[in-house]
Amino acid sequence: MDILQPSRAQLSRWASLEEKKYRREHRQFLIEGELCVREALAARAPLEALIVAREHQVRFETLIRSAKRPAFVANAQDFARLSSVESSQGILAVGNFFELPPRKSNVAVLAEQVADPGNCGTLLRTACFFGASVVIFGKGSAEPWNPKVVRGSMGAIFRQPFKEEENLAEFVRNWNGDSIAAVAHGGAPLQNLGQLASPILLVLGHETRGLSAELAKACTHRMTLPSSGEAESLNLAAAAAIFLYEITRRTDS
């Protein structure tokens, strides 16, 4: 397959995907970095194009030709319009929005207002590691198609089912199983977690403000990760990993 030169119109449309408004309008998003591009290809994600910086063309020649997708080479100035990182690896892709069906699992994750894109990406990766059926993002969370979320997921976004929901409290109240509100203070210690009714929904809140009172009240359990040291709290994704480990350990046994 020939490697093409992108048109001005193509470059303008692809560059616009840095903004949520245009991602929604075109139903497309940017995938940057060799690892994420390779993961997208391995997962057979719907890609419109691969774009490589001219100075990296030789390095990625084999990848581009084996991908069997439309491929374009851009000069340094044009590639910089598309890249959102300071030290780019010289390759990115334009992906189309997609939806993965929930996988069979006893656990799912809901993120109410996880605003940091890096945390959202890491949460997708963590959920994928523990085999969560789906990750549900509330409207206060970072958009899953944000390039920083895609990079933070290390490619897990192409394998971990996720969706967005508007009314999270209603969603939790209608959940057909137990729901666990992860709260920084005042919940039962996580190690005291008892028998749970599957499927189990782990509910996470804002990185600093935590869960809204309405959502915490809607959950069947409120659990806290007790600290053994002097740090007041953990990074949200790290805490989520511990909660998911404990939940899956109990449901798998």
pLDDT digit string, tens, across residues 98-148: 999 999 999 999 999 888 999 999 999 999 999 999 999 998 899 999 999
Sign of the C-alpha dihedral computed for residues 182, 185, 188 and 190 taken in this order: positive
Assess if residue 101 is contained within a domain.
no
CA–CA separation, 141 and 164 (whole Å): 9
Domain count within the chain: 2
Question: Pick from 96, 131, 155: which residue ends a domain?
Answer: 96
* pLDDT given at position 178: 92
pLDDT per residue, tens digit, the chain (253 aa), is 678 899 999 999 999 999 999 999 999 999 999 999 999 999 999 999 999 999 999 999 999 989 999 999 999 999 999 998 888 899 999 999 999 999 999 999 999 988 899 999 999 999 999 999 999 999 889 999 999 999 999 999 999 999 999 899 999 999 999 999 998 888 878 888 878 888 999 999 887 788 888 999 999 999 888 777 766 667 888 889 999 999 988 776 5
What was the pLDDT predicted at 107? 95
Which residue, 52, 69, 96, sits at the end of a domain?
96
Give strand pairing partners of 107. Answer: 200
In the prediction, which pLDDT does 55 show?
93
Per the structure, the complete domain to which residue 154 belongs is given by 107-252
Residue 31: how many other CB atoms lie within 10 Å: 25
Q: Which CATH number is 227's domain given?
A: 3.40.1280.10
Same structural domain, 126 and 222:
yes
- Of 156, 131, 136, residue with least CA distance to 244: 131
Q: Are 114 and 148 within 8 A, CB to CB? A: no
- Rounded Cα–Cα distance for residues 117 and 213 (Å): 23
Co-location of 61 and 133 in the same domain: no
The pTM is what?
0.91
Q: Give the CA count within 13 Å in the CB-facing half-sphere of 117.
A: 12
The CA distance from 115 to 142, in Å, is: 5
Residue where a domain stops, chosen among 96, 122, 154 = 96
Sequence-ordered list of residues with C-beta below 8 angstroms from that of 101, at least 6 positions apart, any chain: 161
Q: Please report whether residue 78 resides in a domain.
A: yes
CATH code at position 57: 3.30.1330.30
Same domain for 92 and 111? no
pLDDT of residue 253: 57
